[in-house]
């Protein structure tokens, strides 16, 4: 069990619930349907990856560099992907779109893919 991974999994999971409720109850009044769908995508990816971090935190000891990079990939990918979506959606709703966040979202997605690839390698090494 790795407390570091469990901490981030718990933090991101709790924040996903908060952001989801914020989106449904507060932002729904000011966002277009497309903006709300984008915001919900960020919440879903954050929650799914938070659950993954919790599962990994309970099952890995982070004994290898590969496992450590995998966890860092998921944590940084969540931050870059989901939080850039939140920033883009909220700023565009206020007519002050933070355009510099646009390229950050796919970078975050790529880092999440790297995390999944490292998970595949980790599983294959267990044989």
| Exposure string over 37-55, b if 16+ CB within 10 A, otherwise e | ebbbebbebbbebbebbbe
The whole-model pTM stands at 0.93
> DSSP character for 31?
S
Give per-residue pLDDT as tens, 59-108: 988 889 999 999 999 999 999 999 999 999 999 888 888 989 999 999 99
| 3-state SS class at 111 | helix
pLDDT in tens, 24-41: 888 888 888 999 999 999
Distance CA 49, CA 66 (A): 18
């Amino acid at each position: 069990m790795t407390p570091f991974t469990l901490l981030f999994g718990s933090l991101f999971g709790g924040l996903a619930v908060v952001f989801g409720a914020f989106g449904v109850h507060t932002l729904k009044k000011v966002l277009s349907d497309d903006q709300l769908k984008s915001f919900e995508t960020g919440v879903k990816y954050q929650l799914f990856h938070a659950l993954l971090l919790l599962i990994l935190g309970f099952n890995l000891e982070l004994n290898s560099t590969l496992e450590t990079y995998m966890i860092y990939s998921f944590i940084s990918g969540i931050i870059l992907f989901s939080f850039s979506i939140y920033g883009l959606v909220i700023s565009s709703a206020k007519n002050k779109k933070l355009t510099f966040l646009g390229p950050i979202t796919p970078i975050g997605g790529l880092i999440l893919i790297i995390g999944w690839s490292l998970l595949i390698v980790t599983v294959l090494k267990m044989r």
